[in-house]
Amino acid sequence: MITRLSLAEAAASPAWASLCGPADLFCTPAWLEVERAGVGPWVPREAACLTWSDADGIAAGTTAQVFNGSVTDDTVRLDLMLPAPVTLDRALLCGTWFNSSVLHDPVRAPAHARLEVAEAAVAFGASRDVDAVYFPYVDAADTDLRKALAELGFLEFPAPDRHVFPTHYADYDEFLGSLRSHRRTRLRKELSVVASANLTTAATVVDDSNVEQLSLLAHLLERKYEQQSTLDELTGWFAEIARRIEVVAFTAAPAGEDPFGMSLWLRHHDLLYGFHAGFDYSRAGGLPLYTLVGYHLPIQHACADPGLSALEYGISSDDAKRLRGTTALPQVLAVRGMTDSVTSALSAMSPQ
């Protein structure tokens, strides 16, 4: 049986929570509560959870979020993900914007459960007059889900790789020693430049005492790349996330001054998820802040924490991530047109 749950109903459901594994942070009850708050730059027009149940309860499900052109970030905007222009007024994003999937209990859920959930997503999209339904970042190794989506008329397009850094090293020196000579030399040179600058670095939990300062750095970075988010949106978003989830900030600052670089990471199970970064480049003086707070400090921290197994680096900046030892996991974008014009445009640009 297919049921549509509100975010509040799904967040309160132990059965829904049991479907969420370490790689499913953005489907968890804690994250659904963040979504319910309706803060931040990526607020959907509508959101729900679609579930498949049998007599024993929920065994499969996915999230469904309706976005329109008011959201400008290409992490969620379908028209910015596709290889050619297409006009979309509204589109239904399924499975979240990270590791997009139909969650399922591999023991209890029959083979057709995920297909029926995806079919329900198409029906939900039709009821909301969307132009397309899409799973933006499907694990390429999840052949069962890809087959189910293909049966429902979804077309596949290239998607960015998802990068993961395994933290099985005894310490940071062991990690550096595992790299090829030219990579090791480059990273050590970066560390030498930072050391000579006499910076103060820290790993701190985000809370009301520092969220405004960190949000300002994030806002400065978003302005550099012409994103439309406001400082208030970012501050409210980060504060709401920190109330629900453990958030760690890695910061760098000139001695005796406020930070001028930071990266935010969300902890879930044995993973740290890279979530956002921020920099005041007007104060950076050419220092490699991005690599310091985005790679050196998180990797050092993770190698020293036996409770962590990996850093989730997400998408983009492929070369920088591979240089620093990440594993790239292939993904695909799965899209189904819901109007004749969009279906025709998708077919014309499809590599299949």
Same domain, yes or no: 145 and 9: yes
Other Cβ atoms within 10 Å of 1 Cβ, number: 9
Q: What is the pLDDT of residue 351?
A: 85
Same domain, yes or no: 55 and 157: yes
Same domain, yes or no: 178 and 155: no
pLDDT one-digit tens code per residue, 312-323: 999 999 998 998
Same domain, yes or no: 157 and 173: no
Asked whether residue 352 carries a pLDDT value surpassing 80, the answer given is no
Asked whether residue 70 carries a pLDDT value surpassing 90, the answer given is no
Q: Is the pTM of this model over 0.85?
A: yes
Same domain, yes or no: 173 and 245: yes
Question: Is 325 in a helix, a strand, or coil?
Answer: coil
Average pLDDT over residues 222-241: 94
Same domain, yes or no: 302 and 334: no
Q: What is the pLDDT of residue 227?
A: 85
Supply the CATH number for residue 335's domain: 3.40.630.30
Domain count, the chain: 2
User: Does 113 map to a domain?
Assistant: yes
User: Does 325 map to a domain?
Assistant: no
Strands of the chain (E only): list them: 2-5, 46-54, 57-68, 90-94, 103-104, 132-139, 155-166, 199-205, 246-254, 261-268, 271-279, 310-314, 327-337
Contacts of 163 (CB under 8 A, 6+ apart): 312, 313, 314, 315, 318, 321, 322, 326, 327, 328, 329
- The two structure tokens encoding residue 215: 């949000």
pLDDT one-digit tens code per residue, 88-143: 999 999 999 999 999 999 999 999 999 999 999 999 999 999 999 999 999 999 99
Beta bridge partners of 155: 335
Q: What is the pLDDT of residue 139?
A: 98
Same domain, yes or no: 138 and 213: no
User: Does 125 map to a domain?
Assistant: yes
Other Cβ atoms within 10 Å of 254 Cβ, number: 16
**Which residues constitute the domain of residue 72?**
2-161+330-349
User: Does 199 map to a domain?
Assistant: yes
pLDDT one-digit tens code per residue, 164-223: 999 999 999 999 999 999 889 999 999 999 889 999 999 999 999 999 999 999 999 999
Cα separation of 90 and 93, whole Å? 10
pLDDT one-digit tens code per residue, 3-27: 999 999 999 999 999 999 999 999 9
